[in-house]
Each structure stands twice: as structure tokens, then as C-alpha cells.
Structure 1
Amino acid sequence: MILVLNGPNLNRLGLREPGVYGSQTLEDLERLCETWGAELGVPVTCRQSNYEGQLLEWIQDAEAHGFSGIVINPGALTHYSYALRDAISGQPLPVVEVHISNVDAREEFRHRSVTAAVCKGKISGLGFLGYRLAMEALVEGNG
């Protein structure tokens, strides 16, 4: 089972900066992730929270709930949340960080990820497709 986590403001997909994030919604993304999971032969559970503590708890509890890997788009927490970094590094599951936009082509503060170094990989700038690639990496053991 794969856990797909989306952080702050991703509940506003389709409404927030469509020129950057596109016009599809979080619900569209979650349906795609579930479809892709079925194609890959792995159940997918999608969750989103605007609260750092909730994301931490989901990460900390993932192995106990039977998940084999995590795909995470930490949103803005990517750039400053050492608590999120510690939660990722403090559990045994492989984690792949995903960003819909190309964060390296955006504002300078978005160029630094404090979480990427404790993830197995990072995918950025490929839109929703990045989630599928992250799931494929986890399923194939590359994540």
C-alpha cells in the first residue's frame, strides 16, 4: 500500500495559481493516484492536511498501518519544516518527494528543500505525472 500525502494549500488545486499548478483539483489528483495504483497493482490512500502535526502523525503511523512507501508533496513545509524532515527520517519506509511545479524555476526560497535529503528521491515540475512516477519508483523498489 502506498500513502500519498499532500501538504498545505494543495486542497486549493484548480483554484490557487492555475498558471502554476493547472486547473485540475485535488480530487482529480486523488482519483488519478488511485487509478495509477490499481494499474500498478497497489492500493493507494490519499490524504491532505494544512496542518503540519497531522502530516507528522500520518508519516509516523504509516508503517503500523501497513503502508510500504510514501509519496509526499509537502507544499511550503518543504522549505522550512525540520519537524517534517525528522518524521520522514525517523521511520523506515521509503519516501519520494513530489512537486507539481518546477520549484527550481520559481522564487529563490523554493530552491531549497529541507526534506529532500531524507527522501529516496525528488520529482519536480512534471505536474500530476510526478505522482505516478513516484509510485512507480516505490513499486519497483527504486523509491
Structure 2
Amino acid sequence: MTSRQSALCVFYALIAVAALTGTAAQLKPYLSLGIVQGNVHFWQDTLVNAASRFITVDIMFVFAVVWRWMLTEGRRLRMGGYFWYLPASLLIAFSAALPVFMIHREIARSRLNPAEVDDTGAAGAFSVMLVTAVALAYTWRALSAVI
């Protein structure tokens, strides 16, 4: 694995931890309801207002596209157990499961010929860093509301 790939894995791991922390901080009202009722109430809450409906519909379409890509990429790179990321993204948090998938993907890509590995370049890296910074700001805000 190259140093760039190792750095990406660390970056993805940090995102997964932050995502898991930020999403878990929102679960307190649902945990006391149990698994079934907690899930029912959670999904009802995603439909409370226009903003929550917007983000729910938006993320479901993102799921559809990214899950398709994850399955294709998992098969292409011969990543064992790649299909487990789909239920993990539903049952735990998509924002945590996807970075873990990306770590798994980088490990699989490290076995490829360097000529087969593409790079997003500086613009791609900048856009990822920008979105990550915004997500971290929301995570911090969510944590400060719970703590």
C-alpha cells in the first residue's frame, strides 16, 4: 500500500468515527423504545417537515446510486464480504459504513498494478475536504446539543 493510500485509509477512518459519533448522538430518544418501535418512530420523524422529507428522499437516492457502485466495485476488486456494507449502512449509519467500505476498497486497490489505480486529483480532494469540514461542523453542533 502506498503512503497516499495509507493516508486515505486514516482519513476515511476519521470520517467513519466522526459520522458514527454524530449519528449516535441523535439516537437517545429512540433507544428506550426498543428496536422495532425505535425504528418505526425514527422513520416517522424523517417525514415530519419539508426539510426532513427532502434529506430523507435525497439520501435514499444517494443510497441507490452508491450501493450499486459499491456492489460493482466490490465484485471488480474481489473484496470479500463487500455485500455486508449494504445492511450496515441501513442498520448502523450510511455515513459510517461508506468510509469503512472505502478503507476496504483502498486495501483491495493496493493489490492492483499502480497503472490501474486512478486519482481524483486536487479538485476532487478539495471537494471531499470541504464537505468533510461541513459535516464535522454539524457533528460538533449535534454533540454540543446533546452534551
TM-score normalized by the length of structure 2: 0.29
Higher share of residues assigned strand = 1
TM-score normalized by the length of structure 1: 0.30
Give the greater-gyration-radius structure (CA): 2
